């Protein structure tokens, strides 16, 4: 029995979806995904909402294409697969071509064929359970019949998967260019397709392609969230970021300009800092070896990034001139005084020696070293010497 709180939430979501459908005249799967991002947890709720939307005559589209009429769309786009009908024309290095060629061998299923296969799969699972529970009480003939039904169910499962691999390609194409190679998207989508086959219940009256689309999208979007970024972003945050960019696009069309952070935050009902954080998280890292443009192949991004840790040429030149001038001034002092100042201020090796350490080097007390140091500093303050360093202060 459904949780009363969850049932109320579904009713609220249905109301919001119906209101949006009244405004734009249709709904897309993106609209549903905003409320139900996790197919594995929300499958039953999605189905219930879709049924309610159908009863109210709401048209459900997937990226402006009705995903529930997948069969007709796939047949209309059969040219894409027909181009791979001649195996000899495909290079052995053309992995995608060979894959599409293999897919084209299995024809699309109509609703009756789909239903028949689903029943065979269900029967195979039931027979497998019966065989496990029989505990050797079956006759050889009965056992043979059960094993045949189990094998037939496995064959039917493979048939249903292969007949819908075109659906995986159709969905995967929409997610190209998001950091995951196309073949990897197809592989992830195939995992979702196999999951959909395991979860599909034909008794609910849905076409398999309608149900499978959710699972395929789910696995592909999760793959992009996990693999498509150098810095991983949680799946739920990827959904929020996608919602943010969708809203940004809509407001740009409405306002004729880019919306401000405050306007976006008001629409999303979140703090301004949250919107700014989502925008920063959505940025993709760039390689320092990325070319600046196509015309200058030798120009890389790293060549234009300032090194904050290395002194600039001006600073390096200034430091060298100052050091040379200090050495020049120190050379006017008696050698012992000059050496003591160099040790005390780290001019020899960068280490500032204490009075006691300097005293050990000269065989003098720390008090005597302090006196000599004070005398040397007074000499440096003489206008004849200090005038040479004034320009560097």
pLDDT tens readout for residues 193-248: 999 999 888 888 778 888 888 889 888 888 887 776 666 677 667 778 878 888 88
Residue among 345, 331, 347 nearest 379 (CA)? 331
> Does residue 94 have a pLDDT over 80?
no
Q: What structural domains and CATH numbers belong to the chain?
A: 229-285 (1.10.10.10), 313-392 (1.10.10.10)
DSSP string, 298-318: T-BGGGGS--SSSPPHHHHHH
Alpha-carbon distance of 333 to 326, in angstroms, equals: 11
Residue pair 369/358 in contact by the 8 Å Cβ criterion: yes
- DSSP annotation of 108: P
Alpha-carbon distance of 102 to 90, in angstroms, equals: 12
Residue pair 166/103 in contact by the 8 Å Cβ criterion: yes
Any bridge partners for residue 61, and if so which?
Answer: 28
Q: Residue 39: what pLDDT?
A: 55
* 281, burial (CB in 10 Å: exposed 0-12, middle 13-18, buried 19+): middle
> Does residue 261 have a pLDDT over 70?
yes
Handedness of CA 333, 338, 344, 348 (dihedral sign): positive
Q: Residue 226: what pLDDT?
A: 75
- Convert the pLDDT of each residue in 361-385 to its tens digit: 999 999 999 999 999 999 988 888 8
- Average pLDDT of span 26-42: 68
Residue among 174, 181, 200, 161 nearest 39 (CA)? 200
Q: CA torsion, points 116, 122, 126, 129, in degrees to nearest 10?
A: 140
Percent of the chain clearing pLDDT 70 (strictly above): 79
Residue pair 77/245 in contact by the 8 Å Cβ criterion: no
- Average pLDDT of span 80-88: 47
Cα–Cα distances (Å) from 187 to 21, 22, 171, 190, in that order, read: 34, 37, 12, 5
Where does residue 108 fall: left (phi above 0), alpha (psi -120 to 50 degrees), or beta otherwise?
beta
DSSP string, 227-282: HS-SS---HHHHHHHHHHHHHHHHHHHHHSSPPPHHHHHHHHTS-HHHHHHHHHHH
Average pLDDT score, the chain: 79
Alpha-carbon distance of 152 to 234, in angstroms, equals: 41
Token pair 């360093």: residue: 389
């Amino acid at each position: 029995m459904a949780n009363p709180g969850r049932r109320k939430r579904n009713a609220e979501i249905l109301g919001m979806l119906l209101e949006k459908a009244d405004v734009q005249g249709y709904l897309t799967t993106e609209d549903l995904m905003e409320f139900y991002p996790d197919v594995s947890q929300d499958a039953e709720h999605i189905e219930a909402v879709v049924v309610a939307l159908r009863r109210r005559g709401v048209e459900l589209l997937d990226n402006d294409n009705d995903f529930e009429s997948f069969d007709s769309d796939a047949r209309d786009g059969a040219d894409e697969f027909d181009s791979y009908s001649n195996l000899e024309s495909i290079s052995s290095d053309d992995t995608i071509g060979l894959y599409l060629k293999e897919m084209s061998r299995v024809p699309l299923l109509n609703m009756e064929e789909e239903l028949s296969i689903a029943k065979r799969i269900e029967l195979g699972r039931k027979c497998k359970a019966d065989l496990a529970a029989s505990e050797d009480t079956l006759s050889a003939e009965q056992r043979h019949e059960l094993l045949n039904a189990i094998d037939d169910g496995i064959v039917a499962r493979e048939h249903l998967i292969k007949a819908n691999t075109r659906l995986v390609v159709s969905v995967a194409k929409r997610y190209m260019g998001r950091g995951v190679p196309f073949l990897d998207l197809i592989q992830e989508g195939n995992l979702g397709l196999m999951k959909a086959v395991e979860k599909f219940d034909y008794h609910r009256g849905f076409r398999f392609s309608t149900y499978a689309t959710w699972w395929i999208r789910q696995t592909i979007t999760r793959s992009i969230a996990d693999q498509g970024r150098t810095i991983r972003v949680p799946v739920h945050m990827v959904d929020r970021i996608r919602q943010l960019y969708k809203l940004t696009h809509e407001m740009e069309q409405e306002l004729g300009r880019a919306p401000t952070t405050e306007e976006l935050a008001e629409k999303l009902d979140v703090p301004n800092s949250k919107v700014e954080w989502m925008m920063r998280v959505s940025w993709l890292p760039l390689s320092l070896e990325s070319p600046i443009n196509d015309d200058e192949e030798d120009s890389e991004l790293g060549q234009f990034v300032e090194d904050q840790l290395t002194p600039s040429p001006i600073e390096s030149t200034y430091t060298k001139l100052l050091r040379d001038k200090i050495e020049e001034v120190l050379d006017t002092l008696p050698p012992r005084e000059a050496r003591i100042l160099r040790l005390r201020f780290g001019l020899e090796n960068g280490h500032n020696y204490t009075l006691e350490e300097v005293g050990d080097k000269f065989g003098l007390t720390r008090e005597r070293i302090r006196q000599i140091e004070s005398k040397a500093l007074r000499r440096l303050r003489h206008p004849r010497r200090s005038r040479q360093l004034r320009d560097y202060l």
